[in-house]
Amino acid sequence: MRIIIAGGTGFLGSPLAEGYAEEGHDVRVLTRSLPAGEPRHDPGTGVPGVTRVGWTPDGQSGPWASVLEHADAVINLAGESIGEGRWTPRRKALLRDSRILSTRSLAAGIGAASVPPRVFVSSSAVGYYGPSGDDIKTEDAGPGTDFLARLCEEWELEATKAQRPGTRVAIVRTGVVLERSGGALVKMITPFRLFAGGPMGSGRQWMSWIHRLDWIELVRWLIEQPSATGPFNATAPHPVTNREFARALGRALRRPSVLPAPGFALRLLLGEFAESVLTGQRVMPARALALGHHFRYPEIDIAFRGIFGE
């Protein structure tokens, strides 16, 4: 297959691209580090392997879009990290533009292709649902009203514009992705290593999480599942409260989990972003389960055994 990945050098994109390349697929990773349309094969990835192609995600198509012709799948993971830095007005604009313009560019390129890709898989996040207390959220639930929810709603709307005859669109609403080599877990581990770990805020807020391997397998399944269209929650079937998460992490690391991070301190440190950490969502992957998808790590203790090898 020919797989195109925007955002293919990050925590999620890199292992996804490498896995496809190791199986002998032709992987093209769109990157801003090269002039638009210029290809550069990654040494050591074999043939076809991984080829980086320069692009300009400015909301329009361009010379880079020829790579979309005859593609089997386009995967959109582009976007600045939500959790890096306070949400200043400038940071919010960057978070929005990095998602909306890149998705709009891909949709425009797909729309202009004479032989468009069979499937477009585009990122979103469980932040779509907004703060929701104990309410269980499936893909049928509507969006929230806070900044992150409005951003996800707009982001998904841009992705649906790629829908056309011959191209289906699947949207992945991702929760907290867990793997010890990167992502949110790296930051969470540090206080536990120092015997200062515990829940954040009240600890009653829900965390909808997923092991990185399950996330990769879900995206690959969406590409191969011809009936998979619309939104899919990329979360494990068993969300946990933040307090339960902290206890499970403490057990996995053989460290106590009794020192909470006060909500006011998180608000001082993170600003508006702290509200997303202190509220959360209780999300279920209802559509994937209904279509028969299997999660390798459905429960948090099983996931931590897989991550920490114990």
Structural domain spans, the chain? 2-179+208-236+284-297
Flag whether pLDDT at 162 surpasses 90: yes
Q: Which CATH number fits domain 2-179+208-236+284-297: 3.40.50.720, 3.30.70.120, 3.80.30.20, 3.30.413.10?
A: 3.40.50.720
My answer on whether omega of the bond before 48 falls inside 30° of 0, hence cis, is: yes
- Burial (CB count <10 Å: 0-12, 13-18, 19+), residue 43: exposed
- Burial (CB count <10 Å: 0-12, 13-18, 19+), residue 36: middle
Flag whether pLDDT at 77 surpasses 80: yes
pLDDT of residue 39: 94
pLDDT of residue 137: 98
Flag whether pLDDT at 41 surpasses 70: yes
CA 226 – CA 73 distance, rounded (Å): 12
Query: Residue 172 — pLDDT band, cuts 50, 70, 90?
Result: very high
Closest CA to 224 of 157, 292, 173, 156: 292
Q: What is the mean pLDDT of residues 57-82?
A: 95
Provide the whole-model pTM: 0.95
pLDDT of residue 20: 96
Residue 306 backbone dihedrals phi, psi, to 5 degrees: -70, -35
Question: Do 95 and 151 contact (CB within 8 A), yes or no?
Answer: yes
Q: Where are the alpha helices (DSSP H) in the chain?
A: 13-22, 89-112, 147-160, 184-193, 212-224, 242-253, 263-270, 273-279, 286-290, 300-308
pLDDT of residue 275: 76
pLDDT of residue 147: 94
Chain mean pLDDT for the chain: 93
Tens digit of each residue's pLDDT (9 = 90 or more) over 192-212: 888 888 888 889 999 999 999
pLDDT of residue 279: 87
Tens digit of each residue's pLDDT (9 = 90 or more) over 121-151: 999 999 999 999 999 999 999 999 999 999 9
Q: What is the mean pLDDT of residues 238-257?
A: 93
CA 217 – CA 225 distance, rounded (Å): 12
Question: Do 29 and 13 contact (CB within 8 A), yes or no?
Answer: yes
Q: What is the mean pLDDT of residues 209-224?
A: 98
Q: What is the mean pLDDT of residues 292-308?
A: 96
